[in-house]
Structure 1
Amino acid sequence: MIDLPGSDGSVRPHAQAALDGDDTPLGRRSRWAVELLTAPGAPRDEDLSESFVPVFLARHPQGFAATLEQWRDMGPFTVVDYQPVAHKSWVTLEGPPGVRSTLSLTLDSTGLIRVLHLGPEVVTPPVSAWGDLARALEQPGVTWSALVTRVAGGVTETLYAKDADRPMPNGSSYKLYLMRALAKAVAAGTVRWDDEVTVSPALRSLPTGDMQELPDGSRVSVRETAYKMIAMSDNTAADLIQDLLGRDAVERAVRDAAHSDPSLLRPFLTSHEVFEIGWGTPELRAEWVGSGEAGRRRLLERIAGPMTVRGSDLGPAVHRLGLDWHMSAWDVARVLDALVEDGIRDASGIVDDILTAYPGVPIDSDRWPRAVFKGGSCPGVMMFCWLLEDTGGVRYTVVLQQCADDQKLIGDGQFLRGMGGRVIESGLLSGTSR
């Protein structure tokens, strides 16, 4: 059984003890972050620099201590839930008069805090039947699809589907195809895990991730880069992998994974290219929309070079212009299953280690010894997918997709992620719904 941050209104009596007893780097950082809000005295900005990545504090030119003061004024707080998952944690705090908030924390690969955010608790309704999921996801202005399958003995059973054949923008789930292409190259011996890629201005993208902050000329192993691409959804890592393999190799991986319409992913875009065209000059978007595949490839060649777009430039959704990676829920399910097979064939175990490094939500490893997860987002786009394998080797896939013209209708993904967790914990996968 798993529980998600904000999944119900209950209070866990041992939440504070769980937080206090977590001596992992994530636990120590989470505990320190909570103490920023509960300690008698407020910290100074100079006391914070050793715990945050520099870019985090740079986003607060007036000092992050001022933001902390605003958060502290919402207290005093009591810890009522603590959920750590790999490099992320959620701490649910209750303040007066019973108002609950969630403190979200993300570590970067160096162990420093990359994200720290306090916001209202997002509550997801329980799921005991498929209609509960549909009612929760049916929201005005939001297009959604869902697919839940069970695969045993080579036979696929559809447990639930809603518009699962419709191509949807998926954000970072495109990295699953990059991982497939990389696994194939490693198996063929044309790429080795200890080969290196080199960070350069032309291959530097925007967050998520932290590789975009590495100095020019930094060399990183393929294995570490692939890990960051999947586990931390690092955009620069993904672009480095695509540069290493070549666009053609990734487009072949799309076909090999039986995408329902591979032309939707031709040319296969890098994150750098989506950012540059999507939120660069209007002329680029107009040319993209008015061009066929050959013209779009020429456009990509012409804009190759350092990115001119900044994170602050991102605004209106552009997925309806074809500036995203469109996959149906069935396409997602197929590439997930193919990747797990790649991991089984990989004698080194590295592919499986990368795929299972971050499960997205707290997962009962006794029930699900293999859990593969990928999330994806872009303005107006949110998706989460899981492939879970039980102790008998039966696989279950959960794919949830949302898109809208207005990002506010979707939020930051906590709700959709939470609904995925609700499905996994419900018992509906194995027919033991509570």
Structure 2
Amino acid sequence: MMIDQPGSDASVRPDAQAALDGDTTPLGRRTHWAVELLTAPAAPRDEDLSGAFVPVFLARHPQGFAATVGQWRGLGPFTVTDYQPVAHKSWVTLEGPGGVRSTLSLTLDSTGLIRVLHLGPEVVTPEVRAWEDLERALEQPGVTWSALVTREEDGVTRTLYAKDADRPMPNGSSYKLYLMRALAQAVAAGSVRWDDRVTVTPALRSLPTGDMQELPDGTRVGVRETAYKMIAMSDNTAADLIQDLLGRDAVERAVVEGGHADPSLLRPFLTSHEVFEIGWGDPELRAGWAAADEEGRRRLLERIAGPMTVRGSDLGPTVHQQGLDWHMSAWDVSRVLGALTDDAARDTSGVVDDILTAYPGVPVDSARWPRVVFKGGSCPGVMMFCWLLEDPDGVRRTLVLQQCADDQKLIGDGQFLRGMGARVIESGLLGGTSR
């Protein structure tokens, strides 16, 4: 999913090029190389590109990716005005003729190769100085949204801001928070170990996001690595492997114990594979799912067990209205974030915390927020982002932003909603008083 641009404004960072030049991390080197594709005197050839991208990326460009790069170069010449690296993702703002600004977004595969490289118009997000600014930005025709901001100290949770925070909404990949809870509990109980292995099979292979779906059948992967990819890279196949390891019942118990206000909304607890197969496969499956009760839905899931027939190109119409998603309110999300943070505090190995804090979602001031847990989620017509941030005194804040619409075009690719989350985090409002 190309949904990961942090919030931006129309400012220019004069040291952006120097910051990019000086970043010698694998992400920095790949990003610098990608920018040079657009700014070097000579255009690249396809043979110059093959070693930098995962094969599946180049396979999506049968006419060659160099032609696309050539089109991008035609929008230049470019000047680098901003560079923001976050874990395995980066964003470079490029200014072209007439002051027109674009964003080059890049995502690294777990192997260090480029999985996503995209150039598009810069998405500008307004500053947030008061909660009314957030409301004006998110109030869009045809889009349903909710938001919740809380502050927790000494076991007392105060609401700093809430908008329809009790309303269940589809959430996409944030369901993986419950999987992580169930896994942490299994490890604590001794029934699963971090160095146990799961096996990739056709029946457990899903669609992107992530890269584990490209592993050969029979590949065995450690539970720790699989859980890391499930959370930090939102790998759908990784999530399905974890659910297969634990069992659906265990995850449904984690939903109850995680504080969901109406656990029946997540029963049966779907895998990503099942959502894709029912949502965009045989239309009779969707009709059957929508009409069935819980037991009928469980029988339907038994019938479709096996290799997926749906391809990524089949995804299109929104299906969350038919219960084909994971429905959680903003309060549900906030509660499971808090429960996971408690799990991490009890985990003496430190693995749970390492996984939860591996990817903060947006650039965050580590002096102000030394610990950040992040999860995003999307499906056609669905977008959500959530954060749990701890200050140096251990006081927690949670921020949950949710959107859904019947038309995917109204939701977009998530750059705006994520940017608004970044705006709230940098605004100072998280340290405010209760509203």
The answer to whether the superposition gives a TM-score over 0.5 is yes
1:52 is matched with 53
1:84 is matched with 85
Deviations 1:173-208 (A, max 9, x none): 000000000000000000000000000000000000
Secondary structure of 2:355's aligned partner: helix
CA distance in 1, matches of 2:428, 2:217: 49
> Given that residues 333 and 400 in structure 2 are in contact (C-alpha distance below 8 angstroms), is that contact kept between their aligned partners in structure 1?
yes
CA distance in 2, matches of 1:226, 1:93: 35
Percent of aligned pairs with the same residue?
86
1:419 is matched with 420
> Given that residues 5 and 92 in structure 1 are in contact (C-alpha distance below 8 angstroms), is that contact kept between their aligned partners in structure 2?
no
What is the CA distance between 1:349 and its match in structure 2?
Answer: 0.1
1:334 is matched with 335
CA distance in 2, matches of 1:8, 1:170: 27
CA distance in 1, matches of 2:259, 2:43: 55
* Structure 1 letter corresponding to 2:53: F
Equivalenced residues, count = 429
What is the CA distance between 1:6 and its match in structure 2?
Answer: 5.0
1:212-291 to structure 2, matched below 5 A, reads 212-291=213-292
> Given that residues 16 and 80 in structure 1 are in contact (C-alpha distance below 8 angstroms), is that contact kept between their aligned partners in structure 2?
yes
CA distance in 2, matches of 1:123, 1:340: 32
1:105 is matched with 106
Task: State the superposition RMSD in angstroms.
Answer: 0.8
* Structure 1 letter corresponding to 2:411: I
> Given that residues 255 and 263 in structure 2 are in contact (C-alpha distance below 8 angstroms), is that contact kept between their aligned partners in structure 1?
yes
Does residue 360 of structure 2 align to residue 362 of structure 1? no
* Structure 1 letter corresponding to 2:277: E
Secondary structure of 1:205's aligned partner: coil
What is the CA distance between 1:29 and its match in structure 2?
Answer: 0.4
Deviations 1:221-280 (A, max 9, x none): 000000000000000000000000000000000000110100000000000000000000
Deviations 1:315-366 (A, max 9, x none): 0000000000000000000000000000000000000000000000001111
Secondary structure of 1:429's aligned partner: helix
> Given that residues 6 and 422 in structure 2 are in contact (C-alpha distance below 8 angstroms), is that contact kept between their aligned partners in structure 1?
no
1:401-412 to structure 2, matched below 5 A, reads 401-412=402-413
> Given that residues 6 and 121 in structure 1 are in contact (C-alpha distance below 8 angstroms), is that contact kept between their aligned partners in structure 2?
no
* Structure 1 letter corresponding to 2:92: V
CA distance in 1, matches of 2:7, 2:288: 43
Secondary structure of 2:430's aligned partner: coil
What is the CA distance between 1:410 and its match in structure 2?
Answer: 1.1
1:127 is matched with 128
CA distance in 2, matches of 1:133, 1:246: 40
Q: State the TM-score, normalized to the length of structure 1.
A: 0.98
CA distance in 1, matches of 2:369, 2:348: 21
Moved over 3 A (4+): none
> Given that residues 377 and 384 in structure 2 are in contact (C-alpha distance below 8 angstroms), is that contact kept between their aligned partners in structure 1?
yes
What is the CA distance between 1:299 and its match in structure 2?
Answer: 0.4
Q: Unpaired segments of 5 or more residues in structure 2?
A: none
Q: State the TM-score, normalized to the length of structure 2.
A: 0.98
2:150 is matched with 149
CA distance in 1, matches of 2:413, 2:113: 22
What is the CA distance between 1:7 and its match in structure 2?
Answer: 1.6
* Structure 1 letter corresponding to 2:97: P
Secondary structure of 2:62's aligned partner: coil
2:25 is matched with 24
What is the CA distance between 1:431 and its match in structure 2?
Answer: 2.6
* Structure 1 letter corresponding to 2:235: D
Q: Unpaired segments of 5 or more residues in structure 1?
A: none
> Given that residues 80 and 93 in structure 2 are in contact (C-alpha distance below 8 angstroms), is that contact kept between their aligned partners in structure 1?
yes
What is the CA distance between 1:367 and its match in structure 2?
Answer: 1.0
CA distance in 1, matches of 2:234, 2:6: 21
